[in-house]
Amino acid sequence: MNLVLISLILLLGFSSYYFGRKKATIIQSSQRLTALPKFYGYYLAIWCAAPALIIFSLWSVFEPTIVKNFILADYLDQNLTKNELQLIYTKVKALALGTYTGDINNFLDNSAGKYIQIKNMANNAKIVIVLAALILSLSYAYQSIKKNNRMREPVEIFLKWVLFTASLAAVLVTIGIVFSLLFEAIRFFQSVRIFDFIFGTHWYPAKTFVRDGQPDPELMKDAFGAVPLFAGTFFIAFIAMCVAIPVGLLSGIYLAEYATRKVRKYAKPIIEILAGIPTVVYGFFAALTVGPFVKEIGNSLGLEVSSESALAAGAVMGVMIIPFISSLSDDVISAVPQNLRDGSYAMGATKSETIKKVIFPAALPGIVGSILLAVSRAVGETMIVVMASGLAANLTANPLESTSTITAQIVVILIGDQQFGDPKTQAAFALGISLFVVTLFLNVIALTVVKKYREKYE
């Protein structure tokens, strides 16, 4: 139904393009055109399709809510909760579609009849209104073509609005993220105190599972303490940085200052392959190869090592991050002006002394920025931790034990079926917003630092 309507609108739009163009050639025989003939076509096509499509989509967005309110108006006097009303509405819809299998009572049957009636009415009204809008706007546009008004400007203004709307998409996504996270998180903080969440040291959401009714508030208080997760997140990120910073920075320096053109040409893209490997692949590698390897070494040294250790996950994550640091610091170091180097060489400094005493300090802000970006990357990394570092939230500083992170817990909670309204599900969104805030903070600082640095040498 909807598809037919949309195709009809689009078809009319296309044909009015050709119609408009043809009309322009007819006008051309008597008077001078104000624009190229195709703009007449565009103008007509835009006026034909755009208003109709806008009305159509607005209608489609609002129709379900309005229909629902109409149906549920009959049940308002029964003092039902929101969930019960939702259930009734689902039943009515199923009954109307003929897929309902439960008990049918009169009331439900009436509602289903009403539902079908309203739905039909709405559908017919939609077709009529959309087509009426189409005809109205089309005839308006046809009039202005006939008058040979200016045609190019309105078309271009329309296009510009389309471009502007597209650029709003990024803003919309950000708004969507913030609101969807906030919405669920706020509901979470209605049942769990924000203080308990940020400072509690026990993370054990499975404890709150109850079959009927509300979970015990005392239990809730003790189940959602996120400190072990925050600690685990930064602990694993720290291990990753211990691997990535030395290797990445030294490779970056070597590539920028020592490497011959040829080495640079091949080594840089090869190292960047490390950043292109999907994280789930690293996770598999960490779980299957690095984890047991770490355990074997630890056991041979007489240490107690969990087969899912923070060390294995952190080390593999570090390897993944090497190219971020090496490429960024390579760029930053290459951007340091040559005259600083020349000055240093002229004073008799060796290459390594120049790097350590002149170039590195000059490039430091950029390097710090790249490291911060890498940290934010490590904090947000999910699959390696899920697969290689276990899922139990231990509060520990021992790299040989398993720890969990914010991201891993979000996956643990939300894998499989979720119930919206369950404090566990909401907890995942609360974790999500803390993750978002932390990474946003790191990114903003990093980007400002890098930008300041760039301006200094440009």
Partner 1 sequence: MNEAKRKLLNKRYRAEANFKLFGQIAIGLALLFLAVFMYKIFSKGYTAFQKTWIVTEVHYDKELMLIETDNPSLEDLENADYYDIANKAMTRLDPSLPEEDDRQLIQMVAFTYEQEVKNHLLKNPSLLGKIVPIRLTASDDLDQVHKGNYPRDIPEEDRRVNDYQLKIYDMLNERGDILSKFNLSFFTNPDSREAELAGIASSFMGTVFSILVCLAFSFPIAVLAAIYLEEFAPKNKFTDFIEVNINNLAAVPSIVFGLLGLGVLLAVFNLPRSTPLVGGITLSLMTLPTIIIAARASLKAVPPSIREAALAMGASNMQTTMHHTVPLSMPGTLSGTIIGLAQALGETAPLILIGMVAFVNTIPGTPVDPAASLPVQIYIWSESAERGFVEKVSACIMVLLGFLILMNLAAQIIRHKFERKWN
Binding to partner 1, residues 349-368 (CB under 8 A):
350-353, 355-356
List 54, 76, 125, 447, residue binding partner 1 (CB under 8 A): 447
Using CB under 8 A, count the residues that bind partner 1.
87
Closest CA to 42 of 135, 154, 160: 154
List 148, 251, 402, 403, residue binding partner 1 (CB under 8 A): 251
Binding of residue 437 to partner 1 (CB under 8 A): no
Please state, in angstroms and rounded to a whole number, the distance separating the CA atoms of residues 395 and 248: 29
Closer to partner 1 at the Cβ: 73 or 281? 281
Closer to partner 1 at the Cβ: 151 or 220? 151
Closer to partner 1 at the Cβ: 107 or 258? 258
Binding to partner 1 (CB under 8 A): which residues in 255-284?
Answer: 255, 258, 267, 270-271, 273-274, 276-281, 283-284
Binding of residue 97 to partner 1 (CB under 8 A): no
Contacts of 380 (CB under 8 A, 6+ apart): 407, 435, 439
Contacts of 184 (CB under 8 A, 6+ apart): 420, 425, 426, 428, 429, 430
Whether 259 contacts 267, CB under 8 Å? yes
Closer to partner 1 at the Cβ: 225 or 323? 323
List 122, 247, 335, 392, residue binding partner 1 (CB under 8 A): 247
- DSSP H helices, 224-350, are 227-253, 261-276, 279-285, 291-300, 310-334, 338-346
**What count of other Cβ atoms lies within 10 Å of the Cβ of residue 16?**
24
Q: Of 23-31, 102-110, 193-201, 431-439, which part binds partner 1 (CB under 8 A)?
A: 431-439
Contacts of 239 (CB under 8 A, 6+ apart): 310, 311, 313, 314, 315, 317, 318, 399
Closer to partner 1 at the Cβ: 222 or 331? 331
Number of H helices and number of E strands within the chain? 18, 0
Please state, in angstroms and rounded to a whole number, the distance separating the CA atoms of residues 104 and 405: 49
List 19, 47, 89, 429, residue binding partner 1 (CB under 8 A): 429
For the chain, the maximum distance between any two Cα atoms, rounded to a whole number of angstroms, is 99
Q: Of 72-80, 138-146, 220-228, 432-440, which part binds partner 1 (CB under 8 A)?
A: 432-440
* Nearest approach, Cβ of residue 63 and partner 1 (Å): 13
* Nearest approach, Cβ of residue 79 and partner 1 (Å): 26
* Nearest approach, Cβ of residue 109 and partner 1 (Å): 25
Q: Encode burial over 293-303: b for 16+ CB neighbours within 10 A, e otherwise.
A: ebbeebeeeee
Binding to partner 1 (CB under 8 A): which residues in 357-416?
Answer: 373, 376-377, 379-383, 386-387, 407, 410-411, 414-416
Closer to partner 1 at the Cβ: 192 or 435? 435
Crossing angle for the helix pair 82-97 and 37-72, to the nearest 10 degrees? 110
Binding to partner 1 (CB under 8 A): which residues in 102-121?
Answer: none
Cα-Cα-Cα-Cα dihedral of 212, 216, 217, 222, to 10°?
-120
Residue 417 tokens, joined: 């079926």
Closer to partner 1 at the Cβ: 138 or 366? 366
Binding to partner 1 (CB under 8 A): which residues in 314-343?
Answer: 319, 322-323, 326
Q: Of 112-120, 137-145, 174-182, 305-313, which part binds partner 1 (CB under 8 A)?
A: 174-182
Site string for partner 1, 130-159 (x = CB under 8 A): ----------------------x---x--x
Q: DSSP string of 59-79? A: HHHHHHHHHHHHHHGGGGGG-
* Nearest approach, Cβ of residue 184 and partner 1 (Å): 6
Could you give the C-alpha distances from 101 to 95, 109, 113, 115, 458, in angstroms and in order?
8, 13, 16, 18, 72
Please state, in angstroms and rounded to a whole number, the distance separating the CA atoms of residues 318 and 247: 9
* Nearest approach, Cβ of residue 258 and partner 1 (Å): 6
Please state, in angstroms and rounded to a whole number, the distance separating the CA atoms of residues 206 and 188: 15
Could you give the C-alpha distances from 218 to 214, 405, 413, 431, in angstroms and in order?
11, 24, 21, 21
Residue 149 tokens, joined: 């008004």
Crossing angle for the helix pair 37-72 and 2-28, to the nearest 10 degrees? 150
Closer to partner 1 at the Cβ: 44 or 181? 181
Binding to partner 1 (CB under 8 A): which residues in 288-317?
Answer: 288-289
Whether 326 contacts 271, CB under 8 Å? yes
* Nearest approach, Cβ of residue 330 and partner 1 (Å): 11
Site string for partner 1, 176-215 (x = CB under 8 A): xx--xx-xx-------------------------------
Binding of residue 173 to partner 1 (CB under 8 A): yes
* Nearest approach, Cβ of residue 98 and partner 1 (Å): 20
Closer to partner 1 at the Cβ: 269 or 337? 269
